[in-house]
Amino acid sequence: MTKLITLCLLACLALPASAEGFISRLLHKPVPGGVAVIALPEQATAPRTHYQEAPLLVIREEGERWIAIAGIALTAEPGTHRITLDDGQQLPFTVTSKTYIAQHITLKNQQQVTPDAARQKRIQRELAEQIEAYQTFSPRQPSNLLFDKPVNGRLSSAFGLRRFFNGQERNPHSGLDFAVPLGTPIKAPAAGRVILVGNYFFNGRTVFVDHGQGLISMFCHLSAVDVTVGEELARGAVLGKVGATGRATGPHLHWNVSLNNTRVDPAIFIGAFMP
């Protein structure tokens, strides 16, 4: 009987907080490429918790309870997943299915589809640099979780699209694309610190911003970068301008959001998620 009661309590703690608070209602979209919000045991200080070995963003929702916010990989299988507290406790949450459509893109430069050996070395070096940035976990509390759009414009490519370049399948689309004119100012959707600036083969001119506790924004294909590494940005601060650098067919902003080193749908954070 005691074991049954304990299991019931754990299950209640792990229920999605759809009716409990604004953050839960905004963010709890537990699909591949989405976000899960999990209620945590009550205690005086923030519980520390991990999902697939990565630390999670933990906040106190509306002053009432601790919640963990976990990014779910696009490759995640639907079903029961678990986060782990530092004391070994495991809390379950359910990932439901979502289907993403295909996108076919034609590029004139075949090197941007199948790069040669020299370019592959550059790509691998640049990828390692960006992965390190995505793994950043700072103790700062995010200033806001309902993000501002970095630019105002039409969404031209959704998150999660299966992408085919010149008929060859490549990695799914890991962010949102905004079709806006060349030179449009790009604004920080939340306060943060610039942790990486680069000019990359695929991404072109790129800026990474750490919003706190593993919540990272990445902006790429910029025509100009107006910030430097280490710079603190207020919400709404201009960080660069829209361009078409790297692998791009025209001017647009590609915006990634990463949680616990997992790329998730930025539409969730601007209230534009489509089931």
* Segments of the chain scoring below 70 in pLDDT: 1-20, 102-116, 162-171
Predicted local confidence at residue 109, as pLDDT: 57
Q: 222 with 179: CB under 8 angstroms? A: no
Model confidence pLDDT, tens digit, residues 224-271: 999 999 999 999 999 999 999 998 889 999 999 999 999 999 999 999
Residue that the structure tokens 């309590």 belong to: 9
DSSP-derived letter for residue 78 is S
- In angstroms, the CA 269 to CA 275 distance is 14
Q: Is 6 in a helix, a strand, or coil?
A: helix
Q: What is the DSSP string of 97-159?
A: P----EEEE--S-GGGTS--HHHHHHHHHHHHHHHHHHT----PPPS-SSPPPSS-SEEEE-T
Q: 227 with 211: CB under 8 angstroms? A: no
CATH class (in words) of the domain with range 117-157+176-270: mainly beta
Domain boundaries, the chain: 2-95, 117-157+176-270
What fold is seen in the domain 2-95? Immunoglobulin-like (2.60.40)
Q: 33 with 73: CB under 8 angstroms? A: yes
Predicted local confidence at residue 167, as pLDDT: 46
- In angstroms, the CA 111 to CA 119 distance is 8
Predicted local confidence at residue 200, as pLDDT: 96
